[in-house]
Amino acid sequence: MEETELCFPQLLNSSCVRQKRPQIEAVCIYTLLSSISLLTAVLNLLVIISIAHFKQLHTPTNLLLLSLAVSDFFVGLIMAFEISLLDGCWFLGDHMCALYSSLDYIVTSASVGTMVLISADRYVAICDPLHYPTKITMKRVSVSICTCWACSILYNSLIMKDNFKQPGRYNSCSGDCVVVIDYFVGIFDFVLTFVGPVIVIIVLYLRVFVVAVSQARAMRSHITALRLQGSETVHAKKSELKAARTLGVLVIAFLICLFPFFCSSM
């Protein structure tokens, strides 16, 4: 008992126990996660400032990137709160716990929604480039982004309403930060905010990939017709592989980064 550290020593009978780590391990973990949090927030803030300040960057695609940067900026800030939970102690109160968890869900949902919008934007740009300026306008993109964020805020607020009514109801001890969502609501949320968007993103990017490959092949055929097969043909083949790698990396990286969150939630 003498070696046991409590989150709130004054609450001897109800305080959570602080998780103890070797000093070197704790320093490495906190330094690494703090650096990631800081870099995430600062770099996305630079993107936000750049797109907002320079008028030449005010395009529909960059507006979508601005929305993604805003959501990722908040992810960086939220990580700072998650770092404080590494030792098993939450010192900001039950209301802040519910708010922090809600913001976590909101920015994640908004990020996923923005990724779907970016996929749709790239789909139209590659598959229907002649109609892109008329279909994808600043007004339509702005409305889509606002709708995405509004739906994310409303949807996650409804999911978290019980935790706001009685914050801390699921805590086992003082210093705990536990949020519980109904099992069936959790499954519905998993399908709506992960499975559905991922299917849409994969389908759109596969279509983009097919069109990109067909365009590369058409270019190669044109080069062959002009009897310039040599390096140009190799370049056309490389463009096919580059398109495949780029789209593959985008989709795989997105799934790898997002999947653990929903696994832990389930």
Which of 240, 117, 261 has its CA nearest to residue 189? 261
> What is the C-alpha to C-alpha distance for residues 168 and 170, in angstroms, rounded to an integer?
5
> What is the C-alpha to C-alpha distance for residues 257 and 15, in angstroms, rounded to an integer?
34
The reply to whether 206 falls in a domain is yes
- pLDDT tens for residues 202-235? 888 888 878 877 776 776 676 666 655 555 444 5
The reply to whether 252 falls in a domain is yes
The reply to whether 84 falls in a domain is no
The reply to whether 223 falls in a domain is yes
- For residue 140, what pLDDT band results from cuts at 50, 70 and 90? very high
The reply to whether 134 falls in a domain is no
The reply to whether 256 falls in a domain is yes
| Residue range(s) defining the domain that contains residue 235 | 182-266
Mean pLDDT estimate for the chain: 82
Which tokens hold the place of 225? 């017709």
Judge contact between 258 and 190, C-beta under 8 A. no
Question: How confident is the model at residue 233, as a pLDDT?
Answer: 47
Count of domains for the chain: 1
Question: How confident is the model at residue 191, as a pLDDT?
Answer: 87
The reply to whether 258 falls in a domain is yes
Q: Is the pTM of this model over 0.85?
A: no
Please state, for a pLDDT cut of 70, what percent of the chain lies above it.
85
Non-local CB neighbours of 22 within 8 Å, separated by 6+ positions: none
> What is the C-alpha to C-alpha distance for residues 125 and 62, in angstroms, rounded to an integer?
13
Question: How confident is the model at residue 247, as a pLDDT?
Answer: 63
- For residue 38, what pLDDT band results from cuts at 50, 70 and 90? very high
> What is the C-alpha to C-alpha distance for residues 69 and 76, in angstroms, rounded to an integer?
10
The reply to whether 238 falls in a domain is yes
